[in-house]
Amino acid sequence: MAQSFPVPRTCPFAPPDDYGRLREEAPLVRTRLPGGDVWLVTRHAEAQQVLTDPRVSTDPMTPGHPMAAFSERPPTEEELRVRTRFQAGQFIDMDPPEHGVYRRMLIPEFTVRRIREMRPGIQETVDLLIDEMLKQGSSADLVEAFGLAVPSLVICRLLGVPYADHDFFQSRTRQLIGAGPGGSEDSFGAVTEIWDYLDGLIAEAERKPGDDLVGRLVTARRETGELSHDALVGMTFLLLVAGHETTANMIPLGVHTLLRDPAQLAALRADPDGWPAAVEELLRYHSIVDWVAFDRVATEDMEIGGQAVRAGEGMFVLGASANRDPRVFDRPDEFDIRRGARNHVAFGYGVHQCLGQNLARAELEIAYRTLFERIPGLRVVGEDDELPFKYDSVIFGLRALPVAW
């Protein structure tokens, strides 16, 4: 039994304290939330099993969904109204076969080949941001100047947001992310503004579809007649939200981790071919997206890791625990860029496995490599215990990272 949940992190380089103990206790451990009990899935094998089992649902409307257990009472009419306003197209919350209708439309946009074609654009964005940092002087907040800006500008390119609107887009995405766990007035305002903006972008493409992601979605929709206008708006919104905060947190966190480890950083400088493996290890090691992405509910009675799970029982897969499971990773608490950690679950597993993972890998690799190449004297200003790590946030990261060179 876990005493309380969620368990906050206390160390920037480790999952929450209790995870190791829970993982050794059992593959599934119960925890009590105000609205009922929920299973925590602690080990790698069972995490993969839950995330691939067709008898497991991710739909928040499925009875017993674990997110509902955080509250003692059912949501009010007003809360439901606000929630459903932005529900269209959010295929991350849908089960097959509906989920596949949406996902299939986007798969061609995220193939390895397509991402390879995007690399020069990502490189150009990263270079421009570094030019700007260098122009401003010899210090910066890496979160503000770089971490938040890279994914925001990359998504602008992907969605075909005109250059003139980049500032608007960047400032609103920043508001969206600046908010704490429960959101805020500001973040709700930002959601509305971004949604309305994307609504306009889709409407424009409906008048004149171009040869870009939004144009192709509009054309595909016309040909298949499958989705509504709002569904397309929601899909582009999901790309933005899913791809922004995650990448924005990984960039500064990875830079900080590598600066603390001069030997491994030197190895990467000497052999840049090592970057892809280093990116995988950073993703595994930090597991910034933990249980919050992996909210599931059993729709039939089943057995997982020898444990009976009844239909209607909720589960949270602890991704950060699975990624430190010694049954799969040798010396799991060590950061080792040579381990080739491709089987981590930092991008999830199964039908919902991160659609943007190839893009994320390209962004991280280009961002880290270029930053360390172009600013060889980069260093963090301040000690670890003075840095504003997001211990209280559902997606781990840094609120600011003062650097100098």
Provide the binding-site residues for ligand HEM, judged by CB under 6 A.
Answer: 58, 91-92, 103, 155, 238-239, 242-243, 246-247, 250, 288-289, 293-294, 346-348, 352, 354-356, 359-360
Give the shortest CB-101-to-ligand HEM separation in angstroms.
Answer: 11
Residue 66: cis peptide before it, omega within 30 degrees of 0: no
Q: Are 35 and 71 in contact (CB under 8 A)?
A: yes
Give the shortest CB-294-to-ligand HEM separation in angstroms.
Answer: 6
In the three-class reduction of DSSP (H, G, I as helix; E, B as strand; rest coil), residue 10 is classed as coil
Give the shortest CB-36-to-ligand HEM separation in angstroms.
Answer: 21
What does DSSP assign to residue 57? E
Q: Are 369 and 275 in contact (CB under 8 A)?
A: yes
Which candidate, 233, 292, 281, 248, places its Cα nearest to that of 93? 292
Give the shortest CB-100-to-ligand HEM separation in angstroms.
Answer: 9
Nearer to ligand HEM, 60 or 139 (CB): 60
- C-alpha to C-alpha distances, 229 to 158, 191, 205, nearest whole angstrom: 19, 18, 11
Report d(CA 180, CA 177) in Å as an integer.
8
Nearer to ligand HEM, 103 or 172 (CB): 103
Nearer to ligand HEM, 111 or 138 (CB): 111
Nearer to ligand HEM, 117 or 385 (CB): 117
Q: Crossing angle, helix 98-106 and helix 213-224, to 10 degrees?
A: 140
Nearer to ligand HEM, 61 or 405 (CB): 61
Q: Which residue number places its CB atom closest to ligand HEM?
A: 356
Q: Are 318 and 40 in contact (CB under 8 A)?
A: yes
Give the shortest CB-138-to-ligand HEM separation in angstroms.
Answer: 29
What does DSSP assign to residue 389? B
Give the shortest CB-358-to-ligand HEM separation in angstroms.
Answer: 9
Give the shortest CB-123-to-ligand HEM separation in angstroms.
Answer: 16
Nearer to ligand HEM, 231 or 346 (CB): 346
Give the shortest CB-135-to-ligand HEM separation in angstroms.
Answer: 27
In the three-class reduction of DSSP (H, G, I as helix; E, B as strand; rest coil), residue 215 is classed as helix
Report d(CA 158, CA 35) in Å as an integer.
40
- Torsion over CA: 233, 234, 240, 241 (sign): positive
Nearer to ligand HEM, 4 or 106 (CB): 106
Q: How many CB atoms lie within 10 A of CB 185?
A: 8
Report d(CA 163, CA 169) in Å as an integer.
10
Nearer to ligand HEM, 113 or 208 (CB): 113
Check residue 240 and give left, alpha or beta (phi > 0: left; psi -120 to 50: alpha): alpha
Report d(CA 135, CA 123) in Å as an integer.
18
Report d(CA 80, CA 74) in Å as an integer.
10
What does DSSP assign to residue 76? P
Give the shortest CB-359-to-ligand HEM separation in angstroms.
Answer: 5
- First-last CA distance in the chain: 48
Give the shortest CB-49-to-ligand HEM separation in angstroms.
Answer: 14
Give the shortest CB-72-to-ligand HEM separation in angstroms.
Answer: 25
Nearer to ligand HEM, 268 or 293 (CB): 293
Report d(CA 81, CA 163) in Å as an integer.
34
Nearer to ligand HEM, 140 or 345 (CB): 345
φ, ψ for residue 315, nearest 5 deg: -140, 145
Nearer to ligand HEM, 314 or 356 (CB): 356
